[in-house]
Structure 1
Amino acid sequence: MPGCEPVRVWSRLELRTRQVELDRVLQARTADPLWMLTRQWQFGEFQGEDTGSAVLATLARRTGTVTGLDIDGTPRPYRPELPLDAQVEQLPPHFPPAARAHAGRCFLDLLAGHLTADGLPSATAAAARVLAGLFPIEAPALDPQAPGQAVRVARRLAASTAQRVAQALAGRSFDGVALAVAGVAPAALRPAVPSGGEAALDRAVRDHAAWWRGLFLDPGTAGEAWDDARLGYDFGATVSHGDGERIRLRGGDGEPGWHAFDVEATGTGAPGGTGTDVTSTLPSPAQFAGMPSSRWWQLEDSAVSLGRIRADAGDLTKLLATEFALLYGNDWLIIGDTQAAGTMVEVEAVVITDTFGRRSIVRSASDSAGTDWSRWDLFSVAPARERGAGALAQHLWTPPVAPPPLDGPVREETVLLRDEGSNTVWAVESRVPDGLGGGTDGARVARHVRATLDELAGRAAAPAGPDDPGVRWRYRLGTTVPENWIPFVPVHVPGGNREVMLQRASMPRFFPPGSPRVRPITGILRPGLAEDDEQHAPYYINEEEVSRAGLVIRGGMRRARWLDGRTVVWHARRRATGRGEGDSGLAFDRVEPVGDG
């Protein structure tokens, strides 16, 4: 209703048709076709090319599949039933006494079930006693007075919980993991089962071994891909096409995704893969939320206000998005296609069929970048320039890796850092195995071991000052560092002039007298060390691996689900960037004030 002048207000506006039927109204006819023609001329629509819209896309591609692996320079067969990262990353697993005893208990349950199924008594006590002698769980006795055993005793006392668990299981249970690895029933075990139960025993052993292999990967080749000098994994894969072309890829550090591979070489070999296949699909326009509509008479929503975009000269992303939305949005199409894991696909041709029935070949804007740094390429595997490998055609490589796996608790962690004060690289064991399948604080264990050694040696606390009150200064030959700090010193590479490597060294122990040198605990730093800490080979790390930012190596269990639904568990190591340099406090020939100085 109109209100008072000069203000008019309408509470409601309604449209009313003059006809009963709505067919003519819905046609949205215009009474001024000249205005339409003028607007089309104004926007240059009369100068447009006679092109149609894309209605069909035909894609021809050449597919190659993974046919082999290269681990430690040795060709290995590729197992498609397992993810690539599990086959490459697996390390020798460590099972604590509690896990081994649990595996033994599971075998006894299997044996009792098979005996019952055969109508025999499910008596397993005799079998358990025999197995305890064949596959024992050992808990070495602690003898602090034994020569050279003080350090081992101190370490076991630092992990007192694990030592008590091992002592409780020793003689009362058996190592079920060792039985599963053996996979056959020992001859001494057959008299321990009821008469006629040999077949049930064999089935129980086979089922137990299969159950254990289903939980953890076979450790037969575990650890061979880990490069101790590079502190990372070094592996390769061979991709074979249907026409006999073979492409050797070399993997690097980090997650084994497409970006971790380089083209090592190309050649010919046995035919493999699926060759060239042709598929057709319906293309769809490339769009994003709030993008201007490609139709002239269609209204856009208010999700994005293109008029309020403020982009500076350095805002490359905003400039590209704006240019795509306003100028080239109609020129891009999305052609959906599927690619199996573990394949390399090279697109040979793309043919677009428009609404007029004409076919156009869409060629690549540029070849694969290869070693030409003036071009930019995405998702292509770069060639290894030091090996003289050539660039591949436009391709997409999808390694057969599992989705992001679940990482268990960190069992061991080592931080490598540079110490400019002592001109040394230190490997700090920030987390060490606790003997129960997990990890514990390495600094706490180091303090506990040091205190235990001092207690075993009967060493008294250092006096606050000298007996002579007139002495005001004290000379110290050298300081020390915690036992979880392992030094790496630079040494010359044999045959090189300036190239150096980092060699593992050791800090001395002065108490108790005659104690062995400090040795690392984590498996990351123990190459070349025997179980009794005797070194039978030196250990070197490439100097360029430890930058000024440092390096962190973590070890633990990983769990992933593969394509067929199978759960895979393996022991692996991960590397990450550190937090910069450190200061060990190691110094020599120091004069220090005594008391107030």
Structure 2
Amino acid sequence: MRPADHWQSDELVYEAGFPVGDPAVGGQLRLHRHRGGRVDWFAADAETSPPAGGAAATADRVSQAITCYPTQLQYPGAPLPRWWEIEDAAVDIGGYPPDTSHFATTLLIDLIASHSDDWFVFPVPAQAEHLLTVHQPTVTDGFGRTYPLAPPAGWSLFRTTGLDGSSLVVWLRTLMPLEGPVIEHVLLGLDEYSDVLWAVEQQVAGHTLASPERTPAEEAANPTFALPDRGGEPGERQWFTYVPGRGQTAYWHPYESDDLPGADGVPRRRFVQRRMADLSCTRPELLPAPTAELLRVRQGATEIVHEIEPTTLPSIGVVLERRYHFARDVLGRPLLWRSRRRTPSLNPPGTTMRFDVLAEGRVPTPSPAPPL
């Protein structure tokens, strides 16, 4: 069975929801407008919505009382816990860069300057793909006295929007999955010269695309209008030929702005995919249709026309990529998947395509008159 695809082709983002908490309430962790790439606890927000179809989803809820022993927090260059213990003078705290996979390391300097060695950690058993909630932790000192703990008011290092400060999302993810080469690379951008949105297929199925050249047989079967020819004698009268269009390029797909009715019947502005034709030939020829999956939309066994929400695209354009990823789960089983990713573009596409062109040529040489 093919897994569900959460990619929204009209907004070029991922949208997904995962049930969490009380099934009767219909709570879920919502992955909202994710552009692809890394997914961690900070990528999702908690929301409450009625269960689909009035049926409550099933969720595992496990409560467990544990007893554990706290230990001092250890990190590179941490102060030694014993008094009068000689420390390494060569330690440079500023020389330890933050770890991108552990956000807490960005606060290392502040941790050392403010609380020194007064930080403690204690283990809490948890399962991946679960929501961990710590209820009423209590500390017992060496004299048997107990102290209730409470999370800081208004502050938390790993707080998720929609959850309280005592809840933590334990997200199952891979730290360093193997990434394959790009199998699809598409550039999207608004071209002010032609006043159209272009989708340029640059790589498909791992191969770089280049505009195909016409073969002599294709040129003979469908000649090109007004081939460039600036020869002739000085002072000879110029000759122009009307060409409907010139400069169309294969693998460049236009999107036309149009108002389409939505699900509620209200018209909404959309960029609608169109098909280019080469008008510089005697008979117009359709250019290749998109083959990249990033520009194709399927509803079951039917393929429909791709539409894009205008507010999705910034003025500098975007780059869409698809590639394979490989990792192993906690049991060592291999996992292979394909992902989409949307990133800003620093070089939006532009073309010199023109319509209604008067192409310069030569005066045709008259044929000799037949003998009488």
Which amino acid is the alignment partner of residue 379 of structure 1? F
1:331 and 2:118 equivalent? yes
- Partner amino acid for 1:260? A
3-state DSSP class of the match of 1:411?
strand
Change (3 A) 1:335 1:473: farther
Contact 2:79–2:117 (CA under 8 A) maintained in structure 1: no
Q: Which residue of 1 aligns with 2:198?
A: 426
For the 8 Å contact 1:548–1:580, the answer to whether it is kept is: no
Aligned counterparts, 1:142-541, within 5 A? 218-219=1-2, 221=3, 224-240=5-21, 246-252=26-32, 253=34, 254-255=36-37, 256-265=39-48, 269=56, 272-304=59-91, 321=108, 324-367=111-154, 377-383=156-162, 391-433=163-205, 439-442=206-209, 444=210, 446-448=211-213, 450-451=214-215, 454-455=218-219, 457=221, 459=223, 462-465=227-230, 469-471=236-238, 478-494=245-261, 500-510=269-279, 511=281, 513-516=283-286, 518-527=288-297, 537-541=304-308
Q: Using the alignment, how far apart are the partners of 1:270 and 1:496 within structure 2?
A: 33
Q: For each residue in 1:239-292, what CA deviation from the matched residue of structure 2 results, as whole angstroms up to 9, or x when unmatched?
A: 245x96652122242244323322231679577424321222221223433344
Q: Evaluate the alpha carbon distance shift between residue 345 and residue 557 of structure 1 in structure 2; reply closer, same or farther with a 3 A threshold.
A: same
* TM-score using structure 2 length: 0.75
How many angstroms does 1:302 deviate by?
A: 1.0
Contiguous gaps of at least 5 residues in structure 2:
95-103, 363-372
Partners in 2 of 1:425 and 1:496 — Cα distance?
Answer: 23
Structure 1, unpaired ranges of 5+: 1-217, 308-316, 368-375, 384-390, 434-438
Q: Give, as a single letter, the amino acid of the residue that structure 1 aligns with 2:91.
A: V
Amino acid at match of 2:12: L
Question: Shift of residue 321 of structure 1?
Answer: 4.8
- CA distance change for structure 1 residues 228 and 322 in 2, over 3 Å: closer, same or farther? closer
Q: Which residue of the other structure, out of 554, 563, 572, is the alignment partner of 2:330?
A: 563
Aligned equivalent of 1:157: none
How far does residue 477 in structure 1 lie from its aligned partner after superposition? Answer: 5.2
Q: TM-score, normalised by structure 1?
A: 0.49
| Paired residue type of 2:188 | L
Percent of aligned pairs with the same amino acid: 25
Instruction: Pick closer, same or farther for the CA change 1:452–1:392 going to 2, 3 Å.
Output: farther
Query: In structure 1, how many angstroms separate the alpha carbons of the residues matched to 2:231 and 2:136?
Result: 88
Equivalent residues of 2:187, 2:348 under 8 A apart: no
Alpha-carbon distance between aligned partners in 1 of 2:42 and 2:106, rounded to the nearest angstrom:
27
The total of aligned residue pairs comes to 339
Q: Is 1:550–1:578's contact at 8 Å kept on the other side of the alignment?
A: yes
Contact 2:275–2:286 (8 Å) recurs in 1: no
1:453/1:512 contact within 8 Å kept: no
| Structure with the larger helix share | 1
Report deviation, 1:358: 1.6
